[in-house]
Homo-oligomer: A and B are copies of this chain.
Amino acid sequence: MIGLQQQIKLVKRPVGTPVKEDFEFVQAPIGEPAEGEVLIRTIYISVDPYLRGRMNDVKSYIPPFELDSVITSGVIGQVVKSKSAKFAEKDVVTGSLGWQEYSVAKDSSIRKIDTNLAPASAYLSVLGMTGLTAYFGLLDIGQPKEGETVVVSGAAGAVGSVVGQIAKIKGARVVGIAGSDEKIKYLKNELGLDATVNYKTDDVKTALAEKCPDGIDVYYENVGGEIGDAVLPLLNKFARIPVCGAISAYNNEEADIGLRVQSYLIKTSSVMKGFTVGDYASRFKEGSQALAKWLQEGKLQYEETITDGFDQTIDAFLDLFKGANLGKAIVKVSELE
Chain B neighbourhood of A59, CB < 8 A? 267
Q: How far is the CA of A261 from the CA of B257 in the complex (A)?
A: 9
Looking at the assembled complex, report how far the CB atom of A206 sits from the nearest CB atom of chain B, in whole angstroms.
Answer: 16
Chain B neighbourhood of A271, CB < 8 A? 271-274
Interface string of A226-264 (1 = CB under 8 A from B): 001100000001000001111001100001111111111
A-side interface mostly? mixed
Chain B neighbourhood of A221, CB < 8 A? 262
Q: Does B269 contact A260, Cβ atoms closer than 8 Å?
A: no
Chain B neighbourhood of A199, CB < 8 A? none
Q: Does A274 contact B262, Cβ atoms closer than 8 Å?
A: yes
Name the one of B61, B250, B258, B267 contacting A260, with C-beta atoms under 8 angstroms.
Answer: B258
Q: Does A269 contact B258, Cβ atoms closer than 8 Å?
A: no
Q: How far is the CA of A256 from the CA of B266 in the complex (A)?
A: 14
Q: How far is the CA of A264 from the CA of B272 in the complex (A)?
A: 11
Q: Does B266 contact A260, Cβ atoms closer than 8 Å?
A: no
Q: Does B224 contact A263, Cβ atoms closer than 8 Å?
A: yes
A: contact size bracket: 35 or more
Q: Does A57 contact B (CB under 8 A)?
A: no
Q: Does A267 contact B262, Cβ atoms closer than 8 Å?
A: no
Chain B neighbourhood of A61, CB < 8 A? 237, 266-269
Q: Does A276 contact B (CB under 8 A)?
A: yes
Q: Does A282 contact B (CB under 8 A)?
A: no
Q: Does A129 contact B (CB under 8 A)?
A: no
Q: Does A246 contact B259, Cβ atoms closer than 8 Å?
A: no
Q: Does B263 contact A249, Cβ atoms closer than 8 Å?
A: yes
CB contacts under 8 Å to B, within A261-316, are 261-276, 279
A-B contact pairs, 23 of them (CB 8 A): A61-B266, A224-B263, A225-B260, A228-B260, A228-B262, A229-B260, A246-B262, A249-B263, A256-B259, A256-B260, A257-B259, A257-B260, A258-B260, A259-B260, A262-B272, A265-B273, A266-B274, A269-B274, A269-B276, A269-B279, A270-B273, A270-B274, A271-B271
Q: Which 3 A-B pairs have the closest CB atoms?
A: A265-B274, A246-B262, A224-B262
Chain A residues proximal to chain B, CB less than 8 Å: 53, 59-61, 221, 224-225, 228-229, 237, 243-246, 249-250, 255-276, 279
